[in-house]
Structure 1
Amino acid sequence: MLNRLLVSASFAFLLSAPALALETGTRFDTPCPLSDCSASISLSFLGEVTLPTGTMIDGVEFGGISGLDYDFPSRRFIAISDDRSQKAPARFYDLDIQVDAKGLHSVNVSQTTTLLDTNGKPFAEKTVDPEAIRFSQDGILWTSEGDAKAGLPPFLRVTGDDGQFVREFVLPEGFAPSADKTSGIRNNNAFESLAVMKDGDIIVGLEAALYQDGPASTLTNGSLARLIRFDATSGLAKAQYVYPVSPIPQAPVKADGWNDNGMPEILALDNHRLLTLERGYAQDIGNTIRLFMIDLDGATDVSKIGSLSTTEERIVPVRKTQILDLGAIGLTPDNVEAMTFAKGQDGTDVLILASDNNFNAEQTTQFLAFEVLKRPR
């Protein structure tokens, strides 16, 4: 089902004007991440656009943006909502993002596409949890996080431009949820991140450890999340790596307040390096959003290790180094979960981040843009 939407002036979202401590044009350099000067990365801040919660698009509330991608040949932006078919059937959006070397100017929603199940029908309520989206050679890749409480496994699928199901990748053993929580995904900590490598391989990342691999992050300890490397043609997993999610960066104000930290997005740089995004939250304090660079080279393939917490084998996780902390540079990040490289209207290389507002009136859908002055390719 394809819902075309022509965006009128009332749906034009212009650059908001918050009091930013970070000036447009401020540059951030990491000359030798992972002690590798060939992996140098430099970013320059371009600006921020926010869309208020409650914005209606074609009669449906816009929000829940959990994944964002850009197709270089067609210059097309798409974003996926993590609405579990509760406000409307699961869907992704086409966006018109106006950005160039002078700044991030506006974000418009130009089209809504309904995601369809294997029977060609819209997903029923609470049968899917869309989280990540990427363009690929044979269609649009997207993930569902599943629902551990309901016993629904996560999945990685290919859909056409019209939302029709094309095919599904094979879920490796050990990832399906278990009722007794001895193995499989944690609820809301599953297939959150997705990247397409330069050689075509596909990486899917968990937000936190599988139950058999250890605990989720705490204030004093991190979490061992798995990255699955899929062969794009066969749909089979060819390797798995360990990504060390950082400990929760801040404690809540109240001792019984909520806090967490996870890894909701990854983005390919080349065939072995990626950017990762970690999102922490502390109740009554706010979000901590950090970007890291990781390198898969030299990391142990753990696909044949059933439990990271009980194995006696030597395991080398991916190498990891911090690139940017959005709060530390003067921004006030919302619940950022999505990122993509793109081209501005003037050809400028850009990195765009987007937040999931959780359909919460106290949050917004936030877009942040950086010019990419240098990065490994």
Structure 2
Amino acid sequence: MLVSIFFRSGFRCFGSGFVNSNKNILRYPLLIVFVGAIICSCSSSKPFSSRSAEPGIPAIRFLDEFVIPHNLLYDGTLVGGLSGIDYDSIRDRYFLISDDRSFTGPARFYTAKISLKAFKIDTVFFTSVSQMTQPDGTVFPSFKQDAKKTPDPESIRYHPINNSLIWTSEGDRELRAGKMNCRDPYIYEMDLTGRFMDSFFVPKNFKTSEFEIGPRGNAVFEGSTFSLDYASYFVCMEGPLYEDGPMPAFDYKGAPVRIIKFDSKTKKPVAQFAYLSDGVAHAPNPSNGFYINGVDEIVSIGKNKFLVVERSYSAGMHQNTIKIFLVDISNATDVSSLSGLNTAKNFMPATKKLLLNLDDLGRYIDNIEGITMGPALPNGNRSILMVADNNFSDLQKTQVLLFEFTQ
């Protein structure tokens, strides 16, 4: 295991070396010892509140940013690609899943302690890493080993009643070596060591195909959450099914993505709801450049109410646009029987209201993919923590963002 300590001072100390807090450049070698991996922040951030001040509407206030060092090693694994985070309030610990598709190491998740002091992130302390296993008990292979069995981990949620973890994989639908590789998305339950326990029943319309029906590649089970009583489990698509219409664009908003509601005990779907995503936030430059907008994550905050995170990126932009919405499915239509939402007219989508656009923070925001409700702050309000997936790239940051949530 690796010790990594950051102090709140002019420089950040990493092992026996220093990292300049502005340039984030490692200046001295690392000190490796066999204890936990501790990272202490020295960042200073100006709080920023969401613009909503309406009665009964939650408000979100930005408090702090923490950056986990690039290429941090923990217990022989490369810490990165953190695409999901969840908080266990009973034991004050966090679970973070890596979307490493068994490339730099086996598919895995981490446990960590994140210490908050005076509305700031003080330390991040990784306490364990566990390999996730397939139903047959073996670790997941890489693409080179077996492309049809390689996972794409995205979201992770802790079930305190079962003392287990639920995680999602987007599967795969990509041309590889001239052939369409189709791997269905799935939802697995595992114990806290990563051992497979059970799976959820995925509806047929979410099965991948070599034809343009069903889910698109890399736009499937991106977010998940339990209801507050843990009786229900919700999974949200990143983008629409082919039958539900095109992906969002700069000049097209309202692409319907599906939220699936499961019975937590039977693990069977009981309903589907439509959520209309925003359009791409910024026009790409050049105009024919890459762009994307999709749902990143979802977290429950009340009966039928959620925070939904959307992420947008366009060529020519230097960062992602991250928006947090208040979403309510109380009056939404069950669209399970509707094969195509693009042409259907007889359904009511979930309602949504923008709470915070992170562009308004005036700071660099990377590829945010995970969100969780955290512990109470000193004033009694709940905290929110978000984590960024750095894609194992030295051009990106593994950010942990802290917010105050007023409901």
Q: TM-score, normalised by structure 2?
A: 0.84
Which portions of structure 1, spanning 4 or more consecutive aligned residues, are displaced by more than 4 angstroms?
A: 5-9, 344-348
State whether residues 100 and 348 of structure 1, in contact with CA within 8 Å, keep that contact through their aligned partners in structure 2: no
Partner Cα distance (1:41, 1:78) in 2:
25
Taking structure 1 as reference, are residues 210 and 107 closer, same or farther at Cα in structure 2, changes over 3 Å only? Answer: same
- Give the one of 171, 176, 184 matched to 2:202: 171
For residue 184 of structure 2, give the secondary structure of its aligned residue in structure 1: coil
- Give the one of 211, 224, 227 matched to 2:242: 211
For 1:294-337, what per-residue CA distance to the aligned partner results, in whole angstroms no more than 9, with x for missing partners? 000110100011111243x5111100010001111223210001
Report the equivalent of 1:128: 151
- Give the one of 146, 151, 166 matched to 1:141: 166
State whether residues 108 and 129 of structure 2, in contact with CA within 8 Å, keep that contact through their aligned partners in structure 1: yes
1:348 CA displacement: 5.8
For 1:224-243, what per-residue CA distance to the aligned partner results, in whole angstroms no more than 9, with x for missing partners? 11000000011110000001
Percent of matched pairs sharing the same residue? 32
Taking structure 1 as reference, are residues 100 and 348 closer, same or farther at Cα in structure 2, changes over 3 Å only? Answer: farther
1:276 CA displacement: 0.4
Report the equivalent of 1:186: 216
- Give the one of 320, 329, 335 matched to 2:361: 329
How many residues of Structure 1 are paired with residues of Structure 2 in the alignment? 359
Alignment of 1:102-121 (within 5 A): 102-121=119-138
Q: Which amino acid aligns with 1:145?
A: E
Q: Which moved more, 1:287-296 or 1:102-111?
A: 102-111
For 1:209-234, what per-residue CA distance to the aligned partner results, in whole angstroms no more than 9, with x for missing partners? 01111111111113211000000011
For residue 328 of structure 1, give the secondary structure of its aligned residue in structure 2: helix
- Give the one of 326, 329, 343 matched to 1:293: 326
Flag structure 1 segments of 5+ consecutive residues without an equivalent: none
Q: Structure 1 residue 47 and structure 2 residue 61: aligned? A: no
- Give the one of 285, 288, 297 matched to 1:265: 297
Partner Cα distance (2:91, 2:125) in 1:
17
- Give the one of 328, 338, 342 matched to 1:309: 342
Partner Cα distance (1:16, 1:283) in 2:
32
Greater Rg by CA: 2
Partner Cα distance (1:284, 1:6) in 2:
37
Partner Cα distance (1:309, 1:55) in 2:
44
Partner Cα distance (2:237, 2:214) in 1:
11
Alignment of 1:239-254 (within 5 A): 239-254=271-286
1:258 CA displacement: 1.4
Partner Cα distance (1:29, 1:211) in 2:
35
Partner Cα distance (1:323, 1:186) in 2:
28
For 1:156-211, what per-residue CA distance to the aligned partner results, in whole angstroms no more than 9, with x for missing partners? 11100011111000001211111011x11111110000011123211100000011
Taking structure 1 as reference, are residues 349 and 44 closer, same or farther at Cα in structure 2, changes over 3 Å only? Answer: same
Q: Which amino acid aligns with 1:231?
A: D
Partner Cα distance (1:331, 1:197) in 2:
32
1:282 CA displacement: 1.4
Flag structure 2 segments of 5+ consecutive residues without an equivalent: 6-14, 16-36, 144-149, 175-180
For 1:9-51, what per-residue CA distance to the aligned partner results, in whole angstroms no more than 9, with x for missing partners? 5343232547x6xx14x4335233xxxx33x213333211112
Q: Which amino acid aligns with 2:217?
A: N
Q: Structure 1 residue 157 and structure 2 residue 188: aligned? A: yes
For residue 239 of structure 2, give the secondary structure of its aligned residue in structure 1: coil
Q: Which amino acid aligns with 1:12?
A: I
Q: Which amino acid aligns with 1:246?
A: D
Partner Cα distance (1:114, 1:283) in 2:
35
Partner Cα distance (2:88, 2:51) in 1:
26
1:98 CA displacement: 1.3
Report the equivalent of 2:40: 14
For 1:248-283, what per-residue CA distance to the aligned partner results, in whole angstroms no more than 9, with x for missing partners? 010222223211111010010112110000000112
State whether residues 7 and 110 of structure 1, in contact with CA within 8 Å, keep that contact through their aligned partners in structure 2: no
Alignment of 1:273-288 (within 5 A): 273-285=305-317, 286-288=319-321
For residue 321 of structure 2, give the secondary structure of its aligned residue in structure 1: strand
- Give the one of 199, 213, 216 matched to 2:229: 199
